[in-house]
Amino acid sequence: MKYSNIDFNSKTILVTGGAGFIGSNLAFYFQDNYPDSTVVVFDKFRSDKTFSNGSLKSFGHYKNLLGFAGVIISGDINDKIALKELEDNYKFDYIFHQAAISDTTVQEQDVIIKTNVNAYEDLLRIAIKHGANMIYASSAATYGDSDKFEVGYEQPNNAYGFSKVMMDNITYKYINQGVDISIVGLKYFNVYGKREFFKNKTASMVVQFGHQILAGLTPKLFEGSDKIIRDFIYIDDVIQANIKACNPTKSGVVNVGTANARSFEDIVTILQKELEIDNGKEYIPNPFVGQYQFFTEANIDTTKEILGYESNYTMENGIKAYIPEIKRLYESEVK
């Protein structure tokens, strides 16, 4: 499905973090819908290097790009030489900046700020020099403990959320300077869908619960999970928002969610129905009380206004669309 009237066929598009979850879906969106576009994927790709919490330093995986026919560049967005080569060797029309340290439990604040904040401004300068519209991944983690999910009410409670607030601040600094490109930050809520599996433990509970159920296990939920509700958004809606952000009515930062929070209990119930396997549910104590968001729900009024965005997927429809991929991954990667 095409989400814009723009003809991207003659355009050169950079996708940072293009071997990751959202980035790889963007790369294939352009390949499938605009085969004459030039898509450049820039990604660090994974190695065995980890942070102090044991999390991989990159979740980029070649399997997310199987079938991709565009340009692939392995590189680190913190590498000034690599960025200079991108600047000199291409003339980008659009930059989709998805690369980041996205694990909220990473403790290395210096690396998070360098990677998420400083490298973003470096890329933004390239975008301005090339006249390329910039679309980048912000996050609902910026809201943290806030009880109002609107831009301007951020209260991040971890370094990752803080770094995304700083990215948004940089965005408004450049907007206020009157740059000649559009800049749109997308505050993603809880995204799930195809090509997320290689995020490991940070992949959505949709795929994790799905594989528990297929393995014949009883899904483990935190006590009171029917009251732990989040704004879960299917990947196709996120891609829609990114594409519509190429031609916004104005620059700015907006929420990308469904505006309809659902519970973790709902996820398991829908999965059990779609998979036709019901081994009940097991409830365990929540060890994260006090450092856990019990409610998120995107206010998307501004998103509708600036992007013309409207969520197309309910949780029921999103999980149903995802089921074949959950089954395929279970057979090929889990069993």
| Residues designated catalytic | 160, 199
**What 8-state DSSP symbol labels residue 64?**
G
**Which uninterrupted H or E stretch holds 43?**
strand 38-43
Distance of alpha carbon 69 from the chain centroid? 22
> What's the full length of the chain, in residues?
335
Rounded-to-integer distance, Cα 192 and Cα 272, Å: 17
3-state secondary structure at position 47: coil
Rounded-to-integer distance, Cα 283 and Cα 314, Å: 25
CB 157 within 8 A of CB 144: yes
Rounded-to-integer distance, Cα 215 and Cα 204, Å: 17
> What is the CB neighbour count within 10 angstroms for residue 79?
13
CB 23 within 8 A of CB 17: yes
Q: What proportions of the chain, in percent to the nearest 5, are helix, strand and coil?
A: 40, 15, 40
How many helices (H) and strands (E) in the chain?
Answer: 10, 13
Token look-up 């973003």 returns: 120
Rounded-to-integer distance, Cα 309 and Cα 236, Å: 12
Rounded-to-integer distance, Cα 193 and Cα 312, Å: 14
